[in-house]
Amino acid sequence: MALFGRNKKTEEAKPVVAAQVAETKAPARRNLGEGRGNFSHVLKNPRITEKATMQQGLGVYAFDVADNATKQDVAAAVRQTYKVSPRKVRIVAIPSKTTRSMRTGRAGLKSGGKKAYVYLKSGETITIS
């Protein structure tokens, strides 16, 4: 093992290193319903608030969704559950918050999560009961 000279690396070693680097890349993220066709666990429940109710007239519906759900998962779940095709899906992270009990004074934690706004094409509606 000489520092400057006699033992030079061959060009064959370089592609092997490039192949090893390509193998160490993170695998692509799988959709929640991929291969199963069942997206029932993606949509937890419709989000019924004053803001969400006003937006329904414009074709925007809000849902609480699973923490690891993607936009594609939410779109597929709405397609499967309500038989409508979403125009656009936006996902918002809900931060967790600390709360205090008025009776005992103890601190608690309100868990966060994710909510999704689903935009439908004009003329399409969802009946939320």
pLDDT digits over 64-104, tens only? 999 999 999 999 999 999 999 999 999 999 999 999 999 99
Nearest partner of 119 among 90, 93, 82, judged by Cα: 90
Tokens 């709360």 found at = 99
What is the domain count for the chain? 1
Predicted model pTM: 0.68
Rounded to the nearest integer, the mean pLDDT of the chain is 83
Average pLDDT over residues 103-125: 93
> Do the domain assignments include residue 19?
no
The rounded distance, in Å, linking the Cα atoms of 128 and 81 is: 11
Residue 38's pLDDT band, with cuts at 50, 70 and 90, is confident
Range of the domain at 108: 46-129
Tell me if residue 42 falls in helix, strand or coil: coil
> Do the domain assignments include residue 38?
no
The rounded distance, in Å, linking the Cα atoms of 114 and 104 is: 29
